[in-house]
Amino acid sequence: MMNEQFDNSQQMRGTSSNEATTIYDYSFDLEGGSSASRVARLVGKNKSILEVGCGPGSQSRVFREQLGCEVVGIEIDPSRAEKARAHCKEVHVANLETDNIGDLLKENKFDVIVCADVLEHLRNPEALLLKLKEFLKPNGYLVTSIPNITHASIVYEMMHGRFEYRSQGLLDSTHIKFFSCSSALSLIENSGYWIAELQKVRSMPQHTEFKTTAISSEDKQILAIINSRNPDADTYQFIIKACPLKSPTLKSDNAFTMREEIRQLQGKISSYESELHRINSIVNWYNTPLIKRLFQKIKSLGRGSMK
């Protein structure tokens, strides 16, 4: 299942409560279109949650206060972990790459495991996903958010010879891995999960942290080509809900073929959505007050010449 919605927010996770707030300490509207909002809605109510990379507990707070969930967190930074304890049942300070999370979690099982903006920070995210399956209840599932490296803003920058890391966003300086839609889905599936739902947080290039704006006719043509060739050109993040494979037969060639067919159909839907958004943008442009007045002026001039 794929759900797409445009979100012009520059925040991958949510909306910061003030300018001094760090990228890890933020608030968000549960009904909004941000990545954090979508993750929370996929988690659902009254769940036991393992939040991997919980930060200072920004999402944990919403899970507990608004969704009635019980949260256990894992966080690498001790100071952020200390803040998260106000919103979690318990928080473990650990390095996901080097520490044995089995020693921390022991026999605990969870309804949902959340990895929001985490996998791109790891050298071997597949190893973590394989390990996390052990801590899911029989009907448990994974919810993750992953930034899109093929966003038009990044491709546009690269076509101009630029690939500059930033303090946050798609080219966060702490990102180690980069994912397209197909590689993100492959990562999840190769780790022994099947994709239950795929959502795409979309943001037009000019509304991202890059503030991509083509001025010259040549640059406008470049940006138009990027948008026309890539159905995920305006996808900022992928939000994925995935369930563990319970039977080896699901890995058969037939199952793989079916997943590939579904993925191709999703790509076509995404392409149609992008085209629809482009058309809507043009329509909205025609409906701006300035353009309306211009057309009214042209019409009045036309009627005057006919007389």
Label residue 206 by pLDDT band (50, 70, 90).
very high
CA-to-CA distance for 27 and 18, rounded, in angstroms? 9
What is the DSSP secondary-structure string of 154-169? HHHHHHTT----BSSS
Give pTM, 2 decimals.
0.77
pLDDT digits (tens, 9 = 90+) for 133-153: 999 999 999 999 999 999 999
pLDDT digits (tens, 9 = 90+) for 20-71: 345 566 778 888 999 999 999 999 999 999 999 999 999 999 999 999 999 9
pLDDT average, residue stretch 154-167: 95
Label residue 272 by pLDDT band (50, 70, 90).
confident
CA-to-CA distance for 91 and 87, rounded, in angstroms? 9
pLDDT digits (tens, 9 = 90+) for 213-267: 999 999 999 999 999 999 999 999 999 999 999 754 444 445 555 566 666 676 6
Mean of all residue pLDDT scores within the chain: 85
CA-to-CA distance for 232 and 198, rounded, in angstroms? 13
Query: Does the 2-253 domain belong in CATH 1.20.950.20?
Result: no
Neighbours of 272 (CB within 10 A): 11
CA–centroid distance for 16 within its chain: 17
